[in-house]
């Protein structure tokens, strides 16, 4: 049963994976409106609920084992659905085990460091799932589309000249390989929205007062750079989808489908890690049994030595009596 589930998840996400080494052209290779044929919105709801439960179970084991960590990087254009994806996909997971970090225009302090510094500061610990709402990939996206950001990074001339982006791609790949070698799996999700769906979502943000806060004139201005972003995304996907940290392009025009797909990729990663609850050694086990009899001996006058065991025995007794009647 478990194996069947594992296989189906792997099959489901395969078309979304960017083959390492392939040359991506977003508009040609990935359809923002894609959904798997066998799914509709109604079944999707059940599937997401099952996925969320599965994630919660794996996250508990990940935390207990305390060996691996998972970093989820979410990238999208404005209105791509990053916030909603985080809210829905992580809804069943213990908040203690998840750290969400958002990245905006860098502060003066951040600009005073190397460009990966602020992301390194927010990496998850072992046992945790870290979510980057925007990530180090902004350093080859917004910074590439708007070169004035690069000017502000106080780089030495040697780092501004020549093949800046090829160098950054290599540095990012190396960094992720280092993380992966050391037990931190990097899951990269690009929520791929169509230009028309972005227009529709912007209109809703303008029309609904409770969504106004999500929209600024700057977002509309950024939309003018749509083609530049598509190119930058295509180059990023081509250069940084690696065996150790592949990109997944999540079709984002249908929110419900995007959430299932994101949950499936994360589930796939956790299943591959297959974290286990630690087992205790024989020696620790006998220590535990000594502690147990000490606790039992502390029972106050009239109280059962082990209240749990007493309650369970009582329950069993009542059940038996009922059956006899
Ligand atoms: P939001 O996610 O809507 O709050 O917007 C955050 C803004 O910060 C976006 O416009 C990003 O493009 C911008 N941003 C994020 N990272 C960087 C970066 N490294 N350099 C410049 N701008 C950035
Ligand atoms: Mg925004």
Question: 105 and 251 share a domain?
Answer: yes
Tokens of 232: 């930058």
Q: Based on the domain organization, do 234 and 267 belong to the same domain?
A: yes
- Structure tokens, 140: 């080859």
Q: Within this chain, do residues 252 and 318 fall inside the same structural domain, yes or no?
A: no
Strand partners, 76: 191
Residues 263 and 315 in one domain: no
Please tell me the distance between residue 220's alpha carbon and the centre of ligand 1 in angstroms: 14
Is the distance from CB of 192 to CB of 30 less than 8 angstroms?
yes
- H helical segments located in the chain: 2-13, 26-29, 41-65, 82-89, 108-111, 117-120, 142-145, 148-151, 157-160, 164-181, 195-207, 217-223, 226-240, 255-273, 282-297, 307-324
Do 58 and 148 sit in the same domain of this protein? yes
Best probe residue, ligand 1, of 100, 102, 103, 117 (max atoms within 8 Å of C-beta):
103
Question: How many domains does the chain divide into?
Answer: 2
User: Counting atoms of ligand 1 from 1, which one is nearest the CA of 222?
Assistant: 10
Q: Which residues line ligand 1 (CB under 6 A)?
A: 103-106, 134, 138-139, 142-143, 149
Specify whether 298 is located in the same domain as 218: no
Are residues 93 and 231 located together in one domain of the fold? yes
Is residue 70 located within the same domain as residue 144?
A: yes
> Which residue in 266, 263, 254, 262 sits closest to 42, CA to CA?
254
Q: 190-204: per-residue pLDDT in tens?
A: 999 999 999 999 999
pLDDT of 2: 53
- Which pLDDT value is given to residue 43? 87
User: Containing domain of residue 204, as a range?
Assistant: 2-273
Residue 162 gets which letter from DSSP?
Answer: S
State how far Cα 119 lies from the chain centre: 15
For residues 41-61, b (16+ Cβ closer than 10 Å) or e, as one string? Answer: eeebeebbeebbebbeebbbb
Domain identity same for 290 and 211 = no
Which residue, 247, 273, 299, sits at the end of a domain? 273
* Domain co-membership, 206 together with 117: yes
Where the chain has pLDDT below 50, the residues are 1
Ligand 1 pocket mutation, candidates 101, 104, 113, 213, criterion most atoms within 8 A of CB: 104
Nearest ligand, CA 78: 2
218: domain CATH number? 3.40.50.300
135 and 210 belong to one structural domain: yes
Residue 4's pLDDT is: 59
> What is residue 14's predicted lDDT score, i.e. its pLDDT?
96
Of the residues 230, 246, 273, the one at which a domain ends: 273
Q: What is the pLDDT of residue 36?
A: 87
pLDDT score recorded for residue 37:
86
Which strands form 247-251's sheet, in the order they lie side by side?
Answer: 98-102, 129-133, 69-76, 184-192, 247-251
Distance separating alpha carbons of residues 43 and 49, to the nearest angstrom: 10
Structure tokens at 77: 């254009």
User: 293 with 255, same domain?
Assistant: no
Distance, C-alpha 150 to centroid of its chain: 27
Residues with C-beta atoms within 5 A of ion ligand 2 = 78
């Amino acid at each position: 049963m478990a194996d069947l589930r594992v296989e189906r998840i792997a099959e489901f996400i395969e078309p979304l994976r960017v083959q390492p080494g392939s040359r991506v052209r977003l508009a040609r290779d990935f359809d923002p409106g894609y959904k798997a044929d066998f799914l509709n919105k109604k079944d999707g709801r059940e599937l997401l609920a099952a996925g969320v439960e599965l994630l919660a179970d794996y996250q508990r084991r990940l935390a207990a084992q305390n060996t691996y960590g998972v970093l989820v990087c979410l990238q999208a254009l404005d209105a791509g659905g990053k916030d909603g994806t985080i809210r829905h996909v992580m809804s069943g997971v213990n908040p203690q085990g998840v750290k969400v970090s958002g990245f905006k225009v860098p502060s003066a302090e951040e600009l005073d460091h190397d460009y990966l510094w602020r992301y390194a500061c927010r990496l998850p610990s072992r046992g945790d799932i870290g979510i980057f709402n925007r990530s180090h990939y902004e350093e080859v996206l917004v910074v590439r589309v708007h070169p004035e950001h690069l000017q502000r990074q106080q780089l030495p001339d040697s780092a501004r000249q020549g093949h800046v982006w090829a160098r950054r791609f290599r540095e990012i790949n190396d960094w992720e390989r280092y993380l992966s070698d050391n037990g931190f799996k990097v899951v990269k999700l690009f929520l791929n929205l169509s230009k028309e769906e972005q227009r529709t979502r912007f209109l809703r943000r303008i029309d609904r007062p409770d969504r106004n806060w999500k929209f600024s004139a700057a977002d509309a201005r950024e939309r003018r750079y749509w083609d530049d972003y598509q190119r930058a995304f295509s180059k990023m996907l081509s250069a940084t989808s690696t065996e150790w940290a592949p990109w997944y392009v999540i079709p984002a025009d249908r929110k419900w489908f995007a959430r299932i797909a994101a949950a499936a990729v994360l589930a796939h990663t956790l299943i591959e890690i297959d974290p286990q609850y630690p087992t205790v050694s024989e020696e620790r086990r006998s220590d535990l049994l000594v502690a147990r009899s000490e606790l039992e001996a502390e029972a106050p006058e009239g109280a059962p030595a082990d209240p749990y065991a007493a309650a369970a025995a009582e329950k069993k007794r009542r059940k038996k009596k009922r059956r006899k009647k």
